Structure 1
């Protein structure tokens, strides 16, 4: 008798499951209403924990959290020689050379904070707080103490060096921290090595839009006109040693 009850219960459960499956299939085959044709349920949008004060988002790759330079190396090869400070920042060690990420990147959202050193007596223009962020090691967004410091417009803070003038000068007073939030799109090349889609920058400086989807003519050059002379893939992000003790902190990115 006990075995008979188990068999009957099992049969009932199987029957209910079959009804549920049939109902589900019927639901799927129901004709769509007009408004449903423009509703997409796939792919699901990934959940990312949003920014908290002073912290990167949950899916960020942290490049510098104030503790060490383990994500960086010297552009000359070997360990990064810049100074890690007790306040959670790092500072350019003048004449030690640029540093770059150990990993290579293409399209990214990059957050970086920087601070210029005290103004040097008798110096101005490009001699004050000069450094730079080179995306893929080639395309420079300028870092400079542009607070009450006149220089050429396509060489001041937040410019794409010698290519694009920023929409505003949002530089904070000397010695205060500045924030850059960059959306960078890497260039694309065809099989012949010709550029089919140039590099692009969108950027905020201290929360103010300063570059709006600007198109680069090629890698940064100091003399002459920029142009794309060869194809390349993902490359490290580089921070420049321009012999000024510029400081950095809270560096993270999200690959796009």
Structure 2
């Protein structure tokens, strides 16, 4: 009897919920008063804007590399920290955040070094920012320095060229604001929803909800291994590129 009563109660509850849902849909589709299409709860969470939003995770504050490690072996990051910036030390290797992320808004500022005019194309101010450690937004001195379209600053490296070249001159700071949505995979290991990225370079949109084809490959086609959350990684390409003011907001 108790079991039957439980089942009946459950069915009744589901029925009431269903009616409520139907009524809600009916009101939305055929509103008779303005307040029927107003939603008050839950209240919108407050985030204080500013140089660093109040809900942001600061990944680099200009003082130390405590939040970073060497990609190769997980040892402490060995890049140089000076004057509020971190700078690539040639041979020190790529570095990654210790923390892993999925969907986010990333803010990062970078500066290509003053280098001789003999350096050209990919040899000049080259580095990269890797979402989840595997999808690269290119960093390059693309100011009056022509290179292949899908390899210049603001590109999804070897995949999607930026809409425009918004790069500052050598020695001046550039800003990237990156909105990234991670891929989702099917139970069989296929792609359910691909990764997407929007990149705003110095206030100018250079990637607009761009589909990421897969991992960044120097030679060959992108791959799509199944994965979960991943770090933000910065590339040691041999050029002394600097970074500062790095923060992230999880979404």
Query: Does residue 1:78 correspond to 2:75, yes or no?
Result: yes
Alignment of 1:193-204 (within 5 A): 193-204=189-200
- Higher Rg: 1
Alpha-carbon RMSD: 1.3
One of 217, 227, 236 as aligned partner of 1:232: 227
Distance (Å, rounded) in 2 between the aligned partners of 1:36 and 1:219: 48
Unaligned 5+ residue runs, structure 2?
1-26
Distance (Å, rounded) in 2 between the aligned partners of 1:166 and 1:121: 24
1:188-217: CA deviations, max 9, x gaps? 001111111111110100000100000011
1:39-65: CA deviations, max 9, x gaps? 1111211101112xxx21111000001
Query: Does residue 1:245 correspond to 2:245, yes or no?
Result: no
Match of 1:20 in 2: none
**Secondary structure of the residue that 1:36 maps to in structure 2?**
helix
1:47-96: CA deviations, max 9, x gaps? 01112xxx2111100000101101111112210000000x1001001111
Match of 1:172 in 2: 168
Query: Does residue 1:45 correspond to 2:44, yes or no?
Result: yes
Distance (Å, rounded) in 2 between the aligned partners of 1:67 and 1:111: 17
**Secondary structure of the residue that 1:126 maps to in structure 2?**
helix
TM-score (norm: length of structure 2)? 0.86
Alignment of 1:1-256 (within 5 A): 34-51=33-50, 55-76=51-72, 77-85=74-82, 87-228=83-224, 230-256=225-251
Q: Which 4+ residue blocks in structure 1 deviate beyond 3 angstroms? A: none
Distance (Å, rounded) in 1 between the aligned partners of 2:222 and 2:34: 49
Displacement of 1:227 in angstroms is 3.0
Distance (Å, rounded) in 1 between the aligned partners of 2:180 and 2:92: 27
Distance (Å, rounded) in 2 between the aligned partners of 1:251 and 1:81: 17
**Secondary structure of the residue that 2:248 maps to in structure 1?**
strand
1:99-145: CA deviations, max 9, x gaps? 00000001010000000011234210000000000000000000000
TM-score (norm: length of structure 1)? 0.84
Distance (Å, rounded) in 2 between the aligned partners of 1:138 and 1:248: 19
1:9-53: CA deviations, max 9, x gaps? xxxxxxxxxxxxxxxxxxxxxx996212211111211101112xx
Distance (Å, rounded) in 1 between the aligned partners of 2:213 and 2:198: 15
Distance (Å, rounded) in 2 between the aligned partners of 1:67 and 1:45: 34
